[in-house]
Amino acid sequence: MFKRILLKLSGESLQGKQGYGIDTERLREYTEQIKAIAQKGVQVAIVIGGGNIFRGLSGAQQGFDRVKGDQMGMLATVINALALQSAFDAINQPARVLTSIRMEPIGDFYSPAKALRLLDKGNVVILAGGTGAPFFTTDTGSSLRALEIKADVMLKGTRVDGIYTADPEKDPKATKFNEITYDEVIRRGLKVMDMTAIVMCRDNGLPIYVFNMDELGNLARVINGEQIGTLVKP
């Protein structure tokens, strides 16, 4: 069983069935799954995207300045982080928000040492604001934070049950990998995470596990070692 994980969640995943914004039922499902593994002693840090509210790259394509657009996206991740924290509060799971940009009292300013202290005290730590710099995705932010806190693995919770040879929602002939190397992900151009994040994980030996977070109980199954997703490794 993993001792410390970095869980990457997309902002879009919080939309749930309503297809926009933040679905409170989806929040409840996620936080209850995370609490269940935290109570078993797993230290959990979370990086959440902001695509359900605003995505900087999409904004730039519509005429927004890229730097300003990315800053708006960082703020969107903070909104999602606060929603997660509120949902954890509702089920009596200690959780703290750390932000990559100073914005006390919304959240404490992030440092690896502070995150580790909070994890050691049993808090779920929600890392908001991405890297704090434009032109980097929250995928890259996840890789960076996972390495900084010395996580055993980065778990990427998606709506698909792993990595396929092609998009399974578009290609019925797509086949799933149980395991795949970083280099093969890059060679095949698979859309697992952005290439900066993949290379960072490869160069530092950080495994990535991609699984379907939307199916209840899957997070615990991953922690228990069940083969339900795809492992990316050297």
Q: What is the mean pLDDT of the chain?
A: 94
- DSSP per-residue letters across 135-200: T--HHHHHHHHHHHTT-SEEEEEESSSSEESS-TTT-TT--EESEEEHHHHHHHT--SS-HHHHHH
Where do we find the tokens 């749930």?
16
pLDDT of residue 168: 84
Instruction: Give the model confidence (pLDDT) of 162-212 as tens digits.
Output: 999 988 888 889 999 999 999 999 999 998 899 999 999 999 999 999 999
CATH number for 115: 3.40.1160.10
Q: How many domains does the chain have?
A: 1
- Answer yes or no: is pLDDT of 230 > 90: yes
Please state, in angstroms and rounded to a whole number, the distance separating the CA atoms of residues 123 and 129.
Answer: 19
pLDDT at residue 60 in the model: 62
- DSSP assignment, residue 51? T
More confident residue, 167 or 149: 149
Dihedral sign for Cα atoms in the order 152, 124, 9, 53: negative
Opening angle at CA 199, ends 150 and 113, nearest 5:
20
The pLDDT value given to residue 105: 94
Tell me the pLDDT tens digit for each residue of 19-37: 889 999 999 999 999 999 9
Question: What's the pLDDT score for residue 112?
Answer: 98
Domain containing 8 equals: 4-233
